[in-house]
A and B are shown apart, each in its own frame.
Chain A
Amino acid sequence: MCLAVPGRILSLHGEDPLQRTAQVDFGGVVKEINMAFLPECGVQDYVLVHVGFAISKVDEEEAKRIFEALDSLEEPVRDDSDPTGGEVA
């Protein structure tokens, strides 16, 4: 029920803050989404959408963090304690 899907804003429409909408692209499927809760978002921003409403902006820098953190996690252990014997890589 709390499913929310990330999509990219293609265009914004409307003046009334409660009814402002965006055309949002979800990997090729475009839907009209209510933007009332994210007044500051602009075209090209990625937003998380739930039941027709954008509820949060996806932060590009933060999105990379996990993959960067992972690289630093990995280093010290590569050679010695990999119980898979390297099969995984």
Chain B
Amino acid sequence: MKYLDEYRDPETAKKLAEAIRRATTQPWTLMEICGGQTHSIVRFGIDELLPDSIELVHGPGCPVCVTPLELIDKAVEIASRPEVIFCSFGDMLRVPGSEKDLLSVKAAGGDVRIVYSPVDAVGVAKEHPDKEVVFFAVGFETTAPANAMAVHQAKLQGVKNFSVLVSHVLVPPAMEAILSAPGNRVQGFLAAGHVCTVMGYQEYQPIVEKYGKPIVVTGFEPVDILEGIYLCVKQLEEGRVEVENQYSRSVLVDGNRPAQQLIQTVFRIVDRKWRGIGTIPVSGLGLQPEYGDFDAELRFDLANRQVEEPEACQSGRVLQGEIKPHECPAFGKECTPERPLGATMVSSEGACAAYYQYRRLMPEGA
């Protein structure tokens, strides 16, 4: 496919890896933000093409992984009600709640449906006026416009039996949380390209200035990631600290204005709890008061519920780049994709799942 295949070309990847090798004179630790990038890196073995002195640590950019436990429990509770059709992206179904996941609700007879697009859930609501249709609105800035559109259309069309369970997260505050953590090792970021297609990259300038770490907006294919690493290493080696855009074929500095406008119409910025990490100030989106009628937490009276997370899972440390998945004592033992302890082992973009899928047979210490 055009704009995909050429960015997976092994020869081009090798040339870039060579260029990185030549540019590198000292050790650097970089973090890729997005779980989709983590997946590409592990799947295509990009980290193995790099000189030993470049370490990639994996970031928190997996919305499935960071959706707090209590939101999963709320989803399970809502989906278990007989009057509810619960619609979700497929990746949320196997995320473990305190006691069960959405898939087991479905197996027990609950009407849980996977939708491709959030607006499909509005369609389901129109087809079933006698049911309450709830959509699990998770995601980063990339997904926010589509989720906002579903709520906006439901309001415009007067669809009263539709609501959303919102757990939206924002990337820049998470980057700041990582950079300001006492044990931070990250010296440069590969920012999440698809988040930037929507938001642009102006908001990274103050972060670059405040923390003195380069940020390179980077795509998702192997060639993109390698070029992102190259640009980031060049900056570090030359002592420059800038926001750079590797993914210029799809990202404009201002992002997508109509999408941003709709996000602002429907959502407002709120503090948000991240699974394994805790609450990060101003790091999420919740519904604007004018759209409060569509808030499933209010509709089902679950707003004040809080749940403590179990300690066995180290996903918070994995998501902040403190440890690699295989360094978690439970990895591949008590915790596997079949019996996950944490969401990072279930999500197709979770770092633990990526390591399990592609690196399980790796010799110790490799």
**Which A residues have a C-beta under 8 Å from some C-beta of B?**
1-6, 8, 18, 26-27, 34, 36-39, 46, 48, 50-53, 55-60, 62-63, 65-67, 70, 73-74, 77, 81-84, 88
Interface residue tally on B, bucketed by range? 35 or more
Can you list, as one digit per residue, whether each of B6-25 has a CB less than 8 Å from chain A (1) or not (0)? 10000110111011011000
Question: What are 6 of the A-B contact pairs (CB < 8 Å)?
Answer: A53-B117, A55-B145, A55-B197, A55-B259, A84-B18, A88-B18
Q: Mark B36-78, 1 if CB is under 8 A from A, else 0.
A: 1000000000000000000000000111100000000000000
Contact A48 B2 (CB under 8 A): no
| Given known A6-B2, A55-B256, contact A70–B142 (CB-CB < 8 A) | no
Measured between beta carbons, the chain B residues less than 8 angstroms from A1 are 35-36, 62-64, 89, 91, 138-140, 142-143, 347, 349
B119 close to chain A: CB less than 8 A: yes
Judge if B354 is at the interface, Cβ distance under 8 Å: no
Complex: how many Å from CA A37 to CA B146? 9
A46 partner, pick from B3, B89, B91, B139, beta carbons under 8 A? B3
Residue of chain B at shortest CB distance from A6 = B3
B313 at the interface (CB under 8 A from A): no
Q: Give the docked Cα–Cα distance between A65 and B256 (Å).
A: 22
Residue from A34, A55, A63, A65 having most chain B Cβ neighbours under 10 A: A55
Complex contact B142–A50 (CB within 8 A): yes
**Chain B residues in 8 Å Cβ range of A73:** 15, 19
Chain A residues in 8 Å Cβ range of B246: 66
B266 CB–A CB distance under 8 Å: no
Inter-chain contact A67/B138, CB cutoff 8 Å: no
Per the bound structure, the CA–CA distance linking A53 and B262 in Å amounts to 13
For residue B198, CB closer than 8 A to chain A, the reply is yes
**For B2, what are the chain A residues with a Cβ–Cβ distance below 8 Å?**
6, 8, 27, 46
Among B99-107, B180-188, B247-255, B299-307, the stretch that binds chain A is B247-255
Query: In the complex, A27 Cα to B1 Cα: how many Å?
Result: 5
Question: Beyond the given A27-B4, A52-B119, A55-B142, could you list 17 further A-B residue pairs with CB under 8 A, ordered by the A residue number?
Answer: A1-B143, A2-B35, A2-B61, A2-B63, A2-B139, A2-B143, A4-B197, A6-B2, A27-B2, A34-B117, A53-B146, A53-B149, A55-B197, A55-B259, A58-B249, A63-B249, A70-B12
B153 on interface, CB distance cutoff 8 Å: yes
User: Does B83 touch A at the CB level, under 8 Å?
Assistant: no
Contact A59 B117 (CB under 8 A): no
Question: Are B249 and A51 within 8 A (Cβ)?
Answer: no
Interface of B is mostly: helix
Complex contacts, A8 vs chain B, CB 8 Å = 2
Q: Is B248's CB under 8 angstroms from A59's CB?
A: yes
| In the bound complex, CA of A27 to CA of B248 (Å) | 22
Contact present for A82 and B18 (CB under 8 Å): yes
Cβ of B194: which chain A residues have Cβ within 8 Å of it?
2-4, 48, 50, 55
Most B Cβ at <10 Å: residue of A4, A27, A51: A51
When chains A and B are docked, how far (Å) is the Cα of A72 from the Cα of B188? Answer: 25
CA distance A55 to B4 in the complex (A): 17
- What's the minimum C-beta distance from B276 to chain A, rounded to whole angstroms? 16
**Given A38-B256, A51-B146, A53-B146, does the pair A18, B153 have CB atoms closer than 8 Å?**
yes
Give chain B residues whose Cβ lies under 8 Å from the Cβ of A51. Answer: 89, 116-118, 143, 146
Known: A34-B149, A56-B256. A4 touches B142 (CB 8 A): yes
| B258, CB-defined interface residue at 8 Å | yes
Given A2-B34, A2-B192, A37-B139 contact (CB < 8 Å): no
Could you tell me if A58 and B192 are in contact, using CB atoms closer than 8 angstroms? no
Cα separation A67 to B220 with both chains bound (whole Å): 16
Which chain A residues border B11 with CB–CB below 8 Å?
88
The answer for the CA separation of A78 and B62 in the assembled complex, in Å, is 40
* Residue of A52, A62, A66 with most partner-chain B CB within 10 A: A66
Asked if B120 is at the interface of the complex by the 8 Å CB criterion, the answer is yes
Instruction: Pick the residue among B14, B143, B252 that contacts A50 (CB under 8 A).
Output: B143
B3 touches A2 (CB 8 A): no
* Residues in B whose Cβ lies below 8 Å from that of A3: 36, 194, 220
